[in-house]
Amino acid sequence: MSHFIKKALTDIRLNRFLNLVTIFTISLSILVVSVFLLFFENAGRVIEAWNQGGRAMIYLKDNFTMDMLPELKKKISSLGNINEIVFISKDEALERLRKEISLNSDFLKTLQGNPLPDAFEIKMKSYSRIEEVEGFAQKIKEIEIVDDVEYGQGWLGKFLKIFNLFKITGYAMSGLFFLVALFITSNTVRLAFYSRKLEVEIMRLVGATETFIKAPFYVEGLLQGFLGGVLGLVILLITYLMVSSGMTQGLSSYVYFDIRFLSIQTIILIIFISTFLGWFGCYLSLKQILK
């Protein structure tokens, strides 16, 4: 094995330019895939966080009376998927509002009556899909006394739309770059093979097996894939460190915004995929040349 690794390293050194182009192409492809994975991982965490601590407000109509409360609470609870249900009367809601805005607010002094509705604040169990939340909200809305249900559907819907758009784009771009990298890798192996045609012919004449002849090409492909993957991730890490610190500082006064780098499992998966890419490119090329 050490012979093959030594041989592959020598060949990479001798065909430096060609190998650098291949490694760089693989790294570019890996970078594109990794950017999408970085987005998916972080977006996934946002969705997961929302799912686990998801709150919803159920606003009731004006004709609600307190004697309806026990039965209504029972009805809502029976729909399931609720961890906690708390009734907030219109008076309590106004009191909260007063505390939140300001004790001496002129706006609240000018109010005649209480414009706020009676409501339930519910803490939902986790959902795997937004459609489930929508279905649940719809069931609550169908209760006659319920006026509206608010569960952050506006921003969540938009976020999920962007998320899905990125997902489709991510798949398409990743697939495209994967094919490009595969094409480049297999072409590099093909060029390397043709540049060493005499060497291969001599190896056969002196009794080398096909495995002995092919192994350095495979090792070269694996090394190209591995190095391309590592380089792609290093570029992503540098970009991440530069962009995320600026972004976090800029947004910290408005919202808690925590972008994390790829998990160890994802990093290992990416390096495995890029190494496989190098090997597969080599396999396709040699299969075609030696058929």
* Interface contacts to other proteins, rule CB under 8 A: 3, 14, 198-199, 201-210, 212
Q: And the tokens for 96?
A: 């909260």
In 93-141, DSSP assigns E strands to: 119-124
CB of 202 to other proteins, least distance (A): 5
Q: Which is nearer to other proteins, 203 or 237 (CB)?
A: 203
Closest distance of CB 270 from other proteins, Å: 34
As measured in angstroms, the least distance from the Cβ of 196 to other proteins is: 8
Beta bridge partners of 85: 122
Residue placing its CB nearer to other proteins in the complex, 66 or 205: 205
Q: Which is closer to other proteins, CB of 1 or CB of 264?
A: 1
| Residue 131 burial by Cβ neighbours in a 10 Å radius (0-12, 13-18, 19+) | exposed
Compute the least distance from the CB of residue 205 to other proteins, in Å: 6
Toward other proteins, which CB reaches closer, 182 or 189?
189
Looking at the Cβ atoms of 66 and 198, the one nearer to other proteins is 198
In the complex with other proteins, the residue whose CB is nearer, 129 or 197, is 197
Ordered DSSP codes for 235-269: HHHHHHHHHHHHHHHHHTTTS-----PPPHHHHHH
The bridge status of strand 55-60 relative to strand 119-124 is: antiparallel
41 neighbors 252 (Cβ within 8 angstroms): no
* Closest distance to other proteins from the beta carbon of 213 (Å): 9
Quote the strand ranges of the chain, DSSP E. 55-60, 82-88, 119-124, 146-150
The CB-of-173 to other proteins minimum distance in angstroms stands at: 39
CA distances from 249 to 131, 225, 253 (A): 34, 36, 8
